[in-house]
Amino acid sequence: MIIDWYPGHMKKARAQIVEMLPTIDLFIEVLDARLPVSSANPLLERLRKDKPCIKVLNKSDLADPTITKAWEAHFDRQQGVKALPLEATDRRNVGLLPKLCRKLVPNRGNKGQRPLRVMIVGIPNVGKSTLINTLAGKKMARVGDKPAITTCPQQIDLRNGLLLSDTPGLLWPVLDDLAGACRLAASGAIGENAYDTTAVALETVSYLCGKYPALLLKRYKLAELPEAATALLEEIGRRRGCLISGGEVDLHRAAELLLRELRSGKIGRISLERPSDFEAASEEAGEE
């Protein structure tokens, strides 16, 4: 499976971000709480250098709460980083962000001080624009359920001592980590024309079968889970009427249904990545 998606405006956005860096005091990186590693761009980590960063674990209402707590602890151990799980439309929790910004940069943003200049970054369709609108209390940024809505930088005065710079979503030019790219596709961060829907659904259902079997059994009213991912996806399609002439299952429609229900949280609160998996991989790489 090959996933290759890097709209031209992202190249321009990267250059614009580099140009703005000297004026920025703090970064807010919006991540998908269900896949915080795959929804992060290592380029952004290198660009910010030693400037403080708040990693917003957005869509935490869709993620496994136990795993989200583990991710919060994981990020809080990093120098200059603070994690904040939230749901971008929740005004009460989003309201904690300005206070946290001032805490991390205490000499900016308060009365009588210079404005605190914040850059908000993240991959497409992770909820940046929704977060900005909630912070501003009105519609300041375009919002959509498809990636690449924001295509040029914009600056927003929140009128509370914070100046917010919004940027287009940035992905790696080459998604060479196929497992991570598959998780991005499953979450809806990558345009649907860039991947094979059935292949992504099969990888996803295999993961769910191993980590969240009870949720699959309950959602699709199954007595047991077939061992093969294809057989499981076919059974889901059969039970949901994804059929073609002759009673055969339309596997593509079944795949679309599964991914749609995963993204909406109808299957349950699911995390596609766990800190322990990446910490173990990091230790193995160090040993080598």
Torsions phi, psi for 85 (to 5 deg): -70, 135
| pLDDT mean over 192-220 | 95
> DSSP string spanning 101-168?
HHHHSTTSSSTTSPPEEEEEEE-TTSSHHHHHHHHHTS--S---SSS----S-EEEE-SSSEEEEE--
Q: What is the pLDDT of residue 273?
A: 96
Q: What is the pLDDT of residue 47?
A: 80
> Of residues 155 and 8, which shows the higher confidence score?
155
**Residue 67: which residues within 8 A CB-CB, separation 6 or more?**
271, 273, 274, 275
Distance CA 124, CA 185 (A): 11
Predicted confidence band at 151 (pLDDT cuts at 50, 70, 90)? very low
Residue-wise pLDDT for 93-108, tens only, equals: 999 999 999 999 998 8
Structure tokens that stand for 4 in this block? 């290759």
Predicted confidence band at 155 (pLDDT cuts at 50, 70, 90)? confident
Distance CA 159, CA 36 (A): 30
Reported pTM: 0.86
| pLDDT mean over 121-140 | 84
DSSP annotation of 10 reads H
Beta bridge partners of 83: 55
Residue environment code for 199-230, b if the CB has 16+ CB neighbours within 10 A, otherwise e: ebbbbbbebbbeebeebbeebbeeeebeeebe
> Of residues 143 and 139, which shows the higher confidence score?
139
Structure tokens that stand for 214 in this block? 């009870």
Residue-wise pLDDT for 207-252, tens only, equals: 999 999 999 999 999 999 999 999 999 999 999 999 998 889 999 9
| pLDDT mean over 179-206 | 91
- Cβ proximity of 274 and 210 under 8 Å: no
CA distances from residue 259 to 70, 112, 233, 268 in whole angstroms, order as listed: 25, 50, 11, 12
Residue-wise pLDDT for 31-75, tens only, equals: 999 999 999 877 777 788 889 999 999 999 999 999 999 999 999
Distance CA 272, CA 89 (A): 22
Poorest-pLDDT segment among 24-28, 79-83, 162-166, 279-283: 279-283
Residue environment code for 87-98, b if the CB has 16+ CB neighbours within 10 A, otherwise e: bbeeeebbeebb
Predicted confidence band at 178 (pLDDT cuts at 50, 70, 90)? confident
Beta bridge partners of 118: 26, 164
Q: What is the pLDDT of residue 149?
A: 39
